[in-house]
């Protein structure tokens, strides 16, 4: 068999994606990540990064990373359980646990690996996972890796969860898992009601707070704080790659669960630790959030302004309750065309299509941040209005 014939199917798949408007053209950012970025030599307003608080290029975090490199170097040189645990990792875990009001925390390389570490460590063959139908891919993959049976319940529907639990024969353990803020729609999981169900049946409850960290709760302490559910949610998974503007994953909760993940979380055991500058920048991020709510407040004020204005123009912004604002457009080619036209108007906002969202639910996903000024918001809104009218969406 020639190489060509072995890979011909991939060429075919890619051609089909292009025909369907589902092929992702990846933009290259030529500047620091911020409210404005440079792409193809052009300065554009950035409405699609998860850099909620504008920390990705914050001077305090940059300084902390540089100082840490001078003191500790760059790479950890090993997995955490061999020689990769540095005092900085231990300090970050302690600070994150305090910040979130839990007994303990463990850091991983990313939010994705945090889910892959946690779910298979808690449930396995013969156990059952009850998972929200719209959960993030990293939760889905964690569930699959665990080899437990997966029962999907209807999105944000505690009554359906209860029904599904009652209908499911259970011989082993059970885990209920949900996104905290759903990343493509910006709606919030009904965590108090999910807790009621988890508590009724004595099942473990886990929330992935990737988009709630630094966004929801007092000073950005996350969804558990937002709902006042401290001590009731067993596991909070989070990421340092969004509001904290760095990279890294975290699992927070009871000491015993964190102790267990240090023994059985496979990405913790078999993949090297977070790097020195990342950890140091995250520590500086925790300091900032503990000192002031300024960034979190600005994020919410910007998001409310932008979302309300889009709605008043007549855009369908779905069920967003957070700074993630989907501008629903329907078919993927329209969303791609919308995104291209926005870019020509100096606004960077990516189209999202299948498989990230269901077929026929393509959208522009607007990510508001604290890094935008009132003038930025006005410019962005003007571009949305102009393109919306031009393409017959408004
Ligand atoms: C809900 C959710 N969980 C986990 C992740 C993965 O986080 P990370 O980028 O840190 O791997 C994401 C990021 O897209 C997410 O949206």
Could you tell me the distance, in angstroms and rounded to a whole number, from the CA of residue 236 to the centre of ligand 1?
13
Q: What is the pLDDT of residue 25?
A: 82
Domain(s) labelled CATH 3.40.640.10 in the chain stretch across 59-291
Q: How far is the CA of 112 from the centre of ligand 1 (A)?
A: 5
The first and second tokens of residue 274, run together, are 């977070």
Q: Considering the chain, tell me which residue range(s) the CATH 3.90.1150.10 domain(s) occupy.
A: 21-50+293-390
At residue 346, the pLDDT reads 97
* Helices 191-201 & 158-167 angle (0-180, nearest 10): 20
Residue range 379-388: mean pLDDT, rounded: 98
pLDDT value for 24: 83
Q: What is the pLDDT of residues 277-313, one digit of tens each?
A: 999 999 999 999 999 999 999 999 999 999 999 999 9
Residue written as token pair 């994705």: 112
Q: Model confidence over 191-206: pLDDT tens digits?
A: 999 999 999 999 999 9
Which helix (H) or strand (E) covers residue 174, if one does? strand 174-179
Residue 3 has pLDDT above 70, yes or no: no
| Ligand 1 geometric centre to CA of 110 (Å) | 8
Provide, for the chain, the percentages of residues in helix, strand and coil under a 3-state DSSP scheme, each rounded to the nearest 5.
45, 15, 35
- CA dist 283 and 276 (Å) reads 11
Give the residue whose CA is nearest to atom 15 of ligand 1.
210
pLDDT band at 152 (very low <50, low <70, confident <90, very high): very high
222-241: pLDDT as tens digits: 999 999 999 999 999 999 99
Query: Best mutation site among 213, 239, 281 for ligand 1, i.e. most ligand atoms within 8 A of its Cβ?
Result: 239
Cα 265 to ligand 1 centroid, rounded to whole Å = 17
Q: What is the pLDDT of residue 244?
A: 98
**Edge-to-edge order in the sheet of strand 351-352:** 324-330, 362-367, 351-352
Q: Indicate which residue's Cα is closest to atom 3 of ligand 1.
A: 210
The residue to which tokens 């001590």 are assigned: 231
What pLDDT, on the 0 to 100 scale, is given for residue 23?
A: 84
Q: Give catalytic residues, as residue numbers.
A: 183, 211, 242
Atom of ligand 1 nearest to the CA of 113: 11
The answer on pLDDT for 321 being more than 70 is yes
Evaluate if residue 1 carries a pLDDT over 60: no
The residue contributing the CA closest to ligand 1 atom 10 is 111
CA-nearest residue, atom 8 of ligand 1: 111
Q: Are 340 and 44 in contact (CB under 8 A)?
A: no
Q: Which atom of ligand 1 is nearest to the CA of 241?
A: 10
Q: How far, in Å, is the centroid of ligand 1 from the Cα of 210?
A: 6
Give me the chain's average pLDDT, please.
96
Q: Is 14 exposed, middle or buried (0-12, 13-18, 19+ CB in 10 A)?
A: exposed
Query: The tokens of 261 are what?
Result: 């993940």
What pLDDT shows up at residue 354?
86
Instruction: Write the pLDDT tens digit of every residue in 174-190.
Output: 999 999 999 999 999 99
Nearest residue (CA) to ligand 1, atom 16: 183
For residue 183, give the ligand 1 atom closest to its CA.
16
Backbone angles phi and psi of 314, in degrees to 5: 115, 10
DSSP state, residue 84 = I
CA of 312 to the centre of ligand 1 (A): 31
Measured distance CA(296)–CA(221) in Å, rounded: 10
Q: Which of 136, 155, 281, 323 to mutate to test the pocket of ligand 1 (most atoms within 8 A of CB)?
A: 136
Is the four-CA dihedral 353, 146, 180, 160 of positive or negative sign? positive
Q: Calculate the alpha carbon distances from 312 to 228, 309, 315, 316, 355 in Å.
A: 33, 5, 7, 10, 30
21-50+293-390: CATH topology = 3.90.1150
Q: What percent of the chain has pLDDT over 70?
A: 99
For 157, the 3-state DSSP assignment is coil
* Protein residues with CB under 6 Å of any ligand 1 atom: 110-112, 136, 138, 179, 183, 208, 210-211, 239, 241, 249
Q: How confident is the model at residue 330 (pLDDT cuts 50, 70, 90)?
A: very high
CATH number of 59-291: 3.40.640.10
């Amino acid at each position: 068999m020639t190489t060509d014939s072995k890979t011909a199917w991939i060429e075919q798949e890619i051609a089909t994606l292009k025909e369907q408007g589902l092929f992702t053209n990846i933009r290259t950012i030529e500047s620091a990540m911020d409210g404005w970025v440079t792409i193809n030599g052009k300065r554009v307003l950035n409405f699609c990064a998860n850099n909620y608080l504008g920390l990705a290029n914050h001077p305090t975090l940059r300084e902390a990373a540089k100082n840490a490199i001078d003191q500790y170097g760059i790479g950890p040189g090993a997995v955490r359980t061999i020689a990769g645990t540095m005092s900085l990792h231990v300090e970050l875990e302690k600070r994150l646990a305090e910040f979130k009001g839990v007994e303990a925390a463990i850091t991983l390389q990313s939010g994705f690996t945090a889910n892959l570490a946690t779910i298979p460590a808690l449930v396995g063959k013969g156990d059952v996972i009850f998972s929200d139908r719209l959960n993030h891919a990293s939760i889905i993959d964690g569930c699959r890796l665990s080899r437990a049976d997966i029962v999907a319940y209807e999105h944000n529907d505690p009554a359906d969860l209860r029904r599904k639990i009652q209908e499911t024969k259970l011989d082993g353990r059970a885990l209920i898992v949900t996104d905290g803020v759903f990343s493509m729609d910006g709606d919030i999981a009904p965590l108090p009601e999910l807790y009621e169900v988890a508590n009724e049946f004595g099942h473990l409850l886990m929330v992935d707070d990737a988009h709630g960290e630094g966004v929801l709760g007092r000073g950005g302490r996350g969804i558990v704080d937002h709902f006042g559910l401290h001590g009731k949610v067993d596991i909070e998974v989070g990421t340092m790659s969004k509001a904290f503007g760095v990279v890294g994953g975290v699992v927070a909760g009871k000491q015993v669960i964190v102790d267990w993940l240090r023994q059985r979380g496979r990405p913790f055991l078999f993949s090297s630790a977070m790097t020195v500058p990342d950890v140091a920048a995250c520590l500086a991020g925790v300091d900032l959030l503990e000192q002031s709510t300024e960034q979190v407040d600005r994020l919410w004020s910007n998001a409310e302004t932008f979302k309300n204005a889009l709605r008043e123009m007549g855009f369908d912004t779905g069920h967003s309750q957070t700074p993630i604002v989907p501008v629903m457009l329907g078919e993927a080619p329209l969303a791609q065309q919308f995104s291209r036209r926005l870019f020509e108007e100096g606004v960077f906002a990516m189209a999202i299509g299948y498989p990230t969202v269901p077929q026929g639910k393509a959208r522009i996903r607007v990510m508001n941040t604290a890094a935008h000024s009132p003038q930025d918001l006005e410019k962005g809104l003007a571009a949305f209005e102009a393109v919306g009218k031009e393409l017959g969406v408004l």
